[in-house]
Structure 1
C-alpha cells in the first residue's frame, strides 16, 4: 500500500526532526519534505518533486509565518490538506487558519496517538478539528441537514465573527451596542446549538456564508 506523504514546515530543527522520526514510526505515513519557513516551502512548488498529501504547518516562523503561508496555499494550492501546528489555542488564531483553508489545528504538546489519528482522519475525511471543537461542531461541518433560517442581521454578524474583529469592533461596525451584540451571539449559539465563536465559523463554512477553498 502506498504511504501517505507528509511535509513538515517548522523552523525549530529539533522539533521538526523529532516529529519526522515520530511520523516515520507510523506505518501508513512517510515524511517527504522538511522546510524551515513558509517561503522555503512555497518555493518548492516551482519544481515539485513529490507533492505531499498533508502538510503540518507551524504558525510562528521567521520570513513567512503560518498564516501568510496558509493564505498563499489557499490562493495557489487550494486542494492541499494542511494541519496547523501551534503552542497556543488562541481562538482568533484558530479562526484565521480555518477561514484560510486549514483542515486541522493541533497543539504542539499533542499526544502522539492524537497526531496519528489527526493525520489519518484528515487524509480519509478531509479535516480534523476535534482537538479544538466538539464532535457536534464537526458534524455540523460535514453532515447535511435542514438549514436554520437566519435573519439578514444575523448573517451579517456571522460574517463579521469570521474575521479578526473583536466583538466590540463588530458592534461598532454594525452600529449596535456591545450588549446587543452579546444578545446576537447568545441567540445564535442557542439557535445553531453551538458553544463557541469557532462553531460560528464552522457553521458559516458549511453553509457557504463565508467562502473557503476546498
Structure 2
C-alpha cells in the first residue's frame, strides 16, 4: 500500500506530537518529521529527501509564520499540498492562508475522522474545503467581505473617527483635511469594502478590531 508523507509544522511541541501521532495512525499516511516554524521547514526542504506530499501548517508561529511559509512553498514547491491547521478562525486569516497557497483550512479541535478525510481528499482531489471555508471563498469572490489589507493608513484613521459620534466635518477638522477629501475617503472605503453606509462601516470596524467600543 502506498504511503504518503506528511510534515507537521507547529511551535507547540506537545500538540505537534499529538497531531503526528494521529496521522501515523491513519492508513496511507506517515509523518516524515515535524518543525517548530516556517523557517525550520524551509531549511529542511533544501534536502530533496525531506520534501513531503502534505504539510500540516500552523498559522501563528515565531520566526516565520504559516502565511509566509505557505507562500514560499507555493512558489518553490507547488507539488506539496498544504493544509492549514490552526486555532485562528477569523475570515481574514483563512483568506490569507488560502491566497498564500493552502489547499484547505481546519481548526485544531477537528475530529480525528475529519482530519483523515481531509488528508485523503488532498491526495485525491487536490484540496479540502469545509463548509466554513467554502462560504469564506464565495463571500470573497462575490465581494461581500473584502480584506482590510486594501486600506491605507489614513483610511483606517478615518474609520476610527467615523465609529464615533463626530460629524464628517468634525472628522475633517481632526485629520486636518478638507470636507471634500474626507468625502473621498468615505466613498473609497465604501467601495473597497463593499459597504453602503456608516452603520455598516462601524460593524466592519468592530468585527475586524479596527475600532474597539
TM-score, L = length of structure 1: 0.66
Q: Where in structure 2 are the equivalents of 1:1-214 lying within 5 Å?
A: 1-134=1-134, 158=143, 161=146, 164-165=149-150, 172=185, 175=188, 177=190, 181-182=194-195
Which ranges of structure 2 fall in alignment gaps of 5 or more residues?
Answer: 157-183, 197-213
Aligned residues: 165
Counterparts in 2 of 1:179 and 1:98: CA distance versus 1, 3 Å: closer
- 2:204 aligned partner: none
Task: Tell me how far 1:163 sits from its aligned partner.
Answer: 6.8
Instruction: List runs of 5+ in structure 1 lacking aligned partners.
Output: 141-154, 184-214
1:5 to partner: Cα distance: 1.0
Change (3 A) 1:182 1:12: same
Specify whether residues 105 and 89 from structure 1 end up closer, same or farther in structure 2 by C-alpha distance, changes over 3 A only. Answer: same
- Name the SS of the counterpart of 1:11 in structure 2: coil
Partners of 2:54 and 2:193 in 1: CA distance: 42
Instruction: Return 67-76 or 54-63, whichever deviates more.
Output: 67-76
Going from structure 1 to structure 2, the CA distance change for 1:45 and 1:133 (only over 3 Å counts) comes to closer
8 Å contact from structure 1 (residues 92, 164) kept in 2: no
What is the alpha-carbon distance in structure 1 between the residues aligned to residue 74 and residue 186 of structure 2? Answer: 27
Q: Which residue of 1 aligns with 2:172?
A: none
Partners of 1:96 and 1:119 in 2: how far apart?
21
Greater RCO, 1 or 2 (C-alpha within 8 Å, sep 6+): 1
Q: Matched residues in 2 for 1:116 and 1:174: separation? A: 47
Give the root-mean-square deviation of aligned CA atoms. Answer: 3.2
Deviation at 1:8, TM superposition (A): 0.6
Which one has a bigger Cα radius of gyration?
Answer: 2
Q: CA deviation at 1:75?
A: 2.0
1:176 Cα deviation after fit: 6.0
How many Å separate the matches in 2 of 1:130 and 1:3? Answer: 24
CA contact (8 A) 1:8 1:57 kept: yes
CA–CA distance in 2 between the matches of 1:179 and 1:164? Answer: 10
